[in-house]
Chain A
Amino acid sequence: MKNPYPHPHPPSLTLAVSAAITIALVVGLALAPLARAADPRAKGYAIAEASDNSDNGFGDSAVKLKMILKTSAGRTTERVLEIRTLERENAGVGDKSVVVFSSPADIGGTALLSHAKLVTPDDQWLYLPALKRVKRISSKNKSGPFVGSEFAFEDFTALELGKFDYKYLRSETFAGLACNVIERYPKYQYSGYTKSVGWIDQADKQLRKVDFYDRKGELLKTLTFKGYKRYAGKYWRPHQLEMVNHQTGKSTVLLYAKYQFGAGLRGADFVSTALTRTR
């Protein structure tokens, strides 16, 4: 087969020129990290990557949470759900997760299975227990409300490093912690956000706050993370998340129970046919 790539350098070049180019390349490569450190995009990515890597190796987890929906008038509605997560097989794909609702009672047992991808759309299936039906659903619905809450689908599913471009903004103290502030720009289609700004603390590399900006570039929502606890000496998990919608005055609080790690979940538990075993 014909080589589709151009020859690395024209054969007419002399050895000396060739050597000079080689030296230039070597020096260039050696200096590149310095250049990257100064590049806010590379630095932003490195901060997000360090945060993402702090979670490497967790394997699988299961956690129950209470979702409290608050209207601007202060009226509240509660839901109880469980999230089971299987860590990604490699850096080229995302985590797999199942969200199972136990309340409100009429949707008890309803489950949502997601196979997160990086830039291509996630795969999602919905399990309807009354009919025992599993239905593959469109994952275009990134910005729609997740079960009537202030969380959008993408707030739950678009947590993969590769789903965003990043930019380092500044360092500042937030909630008493020295934080790096970075901007994230969604690379996937149909996001409801033009960007989000995240505060990641420098010591433990965990997200402490995120501001979300809508398609018009205006501040839409703020998500704060509290009650961080550490599991197995290394995996940090927040136990109180609050999403405030600045444009509607509504908010949603997530209160987490203890995480279970190493619950023995396997790939076979995260295929669409396994949803019928949900209870």
Chain B
Amino acid sequence: MIKPLRHLLLIPAIAALGASAQEDGGGAFDADGFFVPGSDEAPGAGGERGGEFDADGFFAPEGDTDPGTTPTDAADAAGAPDDELFAEPEGGGLRFDDDLADEFRPWKLGGYVGAEARWFFEDARYPDQLDGFQPSLLLQPELSFETRDGRHQFRLTPFFRYDAQDSQRTHFDLREANWRLVGDGWDLLAGVGKVYWGVAESRHLVDVINQVDAVEDIDEEDKLGQPMLNLNLTRDWGTLGLFAMTGFRERSFPGAGGRLRPGLPVRDDDAIFESGLEHWYPEFALRYQHTLGGFDIGAHYFHGTGREPTFVPSADGTFLRPRYEIINQVGLDLQYTKDAWLWKLEAIGREGHGSPFLASVAGVEYTFFGAFGGSADLGLLFEHLYDGRDADAPPTAFDNDLFAGARLALNDTQDTSLLAGAIFDPSDSTAAILLEAERRLGDRWKVELEARVFAGPADEGSAYRDLAEDSFVALRLTRHF
């Protein structure tokens, strides 16, 4: 935008002064650009004149009915301490400030810093593993820049955790470091990015682009940044995403001293790759998404190094080596939304991990809005998990499991919420139970409480054998900026 034009555009607005007696101008905009109510709010204030914006969206003060009052006085009288937003037609020293007038902030800094304490209340199953408290510190700044026309976006989101007990959990990652070019009905992202695919809650089966940052938590919701070129086309028939990737990210694992690991520690710097190109094997993915009435439809194809590893014992039998294979995967994710019901399905077919297999998560979410006669919402979740993979494929606990959960959102000003859920395996009577509670403290602090309990027999072959003593409670306090 060219600055002098704005002054030209003021002319029609000034010409229109007094066009309406119904404008109630007893207010002004403050330095942040928000409306500040005027002092006169009595009935009849509607007749008071304030000002008007020109076609370009800039405020132009109206000539006051009192000839002795300047526009600046009017703004002051209206209770606005800062009047940078207001044009001063007589050139009284007030100017437009680009940022203030347009409310456009090219740079944004967000993110959080926090502290976490995990408490494992049972003795470790394996020697070397830590007992009791596992304190750590977290930092994730999020820096973004956007050009005024919105065509270019830059994002930088580094993540760092310092863990006092497990050196493998002390780690750094670039969650995002990318540039996005936004066109008319298309956008192109280049750099390290993060995407989320899918609709289910208990398992994220179709979400194959980003590697799991497994050292963070075992819910597979923390992901590592993935280098990519991603072109998205948005048309009447849906959104088509094309991904070209390389620079494979290896899954993170707890160290020998960490909890929530297999019997032998996984050495993630000693991986085996099916492809001789190792990390640099070229990967492709295709993603389609569309909404048709109550249906949200997603489909994908992925070819590349599978994010899930199999494990190979080292020659001396003291640790496990992750092995990454080339896979082809097609998948579908579907949600049907009707009234308070969400019907969900995620399904994949994969080849490259043992024999070709199918896996699925199918379920339903129902929400009681205004539950218990107040403003809280209670959501109930049920999902069935199936996975047909064989023993040559990466291990999974979700071969034929049931998930049930409940989510309570109090809808208060502090966004208090509670989540309780459990995944049961009827074949071996094991269960992984989760409890989560969170609440904002003041404007910038947030406290989260998380408990995971692994219940049931810990005998050979049961899904949580290695984790049977790893039930824990975690308390996390973060400050957001």
Contact = CB atoms under 8 A, between A and B. Distances in A.
Interface of A: 64-66, 69, 77-78, 103-109, 121, 123, 131-138, 140-141, 143-145, 147-148, 174-177, 201, 203-204, 206, 208, 226-233, 239-240, 255-261, 264, 266, 268, 271-274, 276-277, 279
A258 B444 CA distance: 26
A271 B234 contact: yes
Contacts of B53: 229-232, 258-259
A138 B367 contact: yes
Contact of A136 (B19, B185, B296, B412): B296
A133 B337 CA distance: 17
B95 interface: no
B197 to A, nearest CB: 9
Contacts of A240: 27, 35, 37
B12 A233 contact: yes
Given A232-B55, A240-B37, A272-B291, A140 B369 contact: yes
Contacts of A258: 29, 33, 53, 57-59, 85, 101, 103
A106 B446 contact: yes
Interface in B15-46: 16, 19-27, 29, 32-38, 41, 43-46
B35 A257 contact: yes
A258 B56 CA distance: 11
A176 B335 contact: no
B196 A144 contact: no
Contact of B196 (A108, A121, A123, A131): A131
B328 interface: no
Contacts of A228: 22-24
| Consensus secondary structure, chain A interface | mixed
The 6 A-B pairs with the shortest beta carbon distances in the complex, nearest first, are: A105-B480, A239-B35, A257-B33, A176-B44, A273-B239, A268-B234
Contacts of B196: 131-134
Contacts of B234: 268, 271, 273-274
B34 A148 contact: no
B55 A268 contact: no
A174 to B, nearest CB: 7
A65 B29 CA distance: 11
Contacts of B101: 258
Contact of B57 (A133, A135, A174, A231): A231
22 contacts: A64-B34, A64-B103, A78-B443, A106-B440, A107-B415, A136-B342, A141-B369, A144-B369, A147-B415, A148-B412, A175-B45, A201-B22, A208-B46, A240-B35, A255-B34, A258-B59, A258-B101, A261-B57, A266-B184, A271-B291, A272-B291, A273-B234
B43 A176 contact: yes
B194 A106 contact: no
B245 to A, nearest CB: 16
A261 to B, nearest CB: 6
Contacts of B51: 229
Contacts of A174: 43
B355 interface: no
A66 B34 contact: yes
A120 B103 CA distance: 36
B289 interface: yes
B340 interface: yes
B194 A226 contact: no
Given A176-B47, A272-B291, A131 B221 contact: yes
A260 B184 CA distance: 20
B194 to A, nearest CB: 5
Interface residues of B, number: 86
Contacts of A259: 53, 57
Given A108-B480, A136-B337, A260-B57, A123 B291 contact: yes
Nearest to A250: B413
A175 B57 CA distance: 27
B50 A229 contact: yes
B167 interface: no
Contacts of A203: 20-22
B340 A140 contact: yes
A228 B414 CA distance: 31
A273 B24 CA distance: 40
B419 interface: no
B155 interface: yes
Nearest to B146: A279
A106 B112 contact: yes
A277 B187 contact: yes
A105 B110 contact: yes
Nearest to A68: B34
Nearest to A62: B103
Interface in B138-178: 144, 146, 150, 153, 155
A206 B20 CA distance: 13
Contacts of A123: 291, 337
Contact of B24 (A66, A69, A175, A279): A175
Given A175-B45, A229-B51, A258-B57, 11 more contacts: A64-B33, A131-B196, A177-B22, A226-B45, A239-B27, A257-B35, A258-B53, A260-B57, A264-B150, A271-B291, A273-B232
A256 to B, nearest CB: 5
A121 B369 CA distance: 15
Contacts of A65: 34
B226 to A, nearest CB: 12
Contacts of A138: 337, 339-342, 367, 369
B40 to A, nearest CB: 11
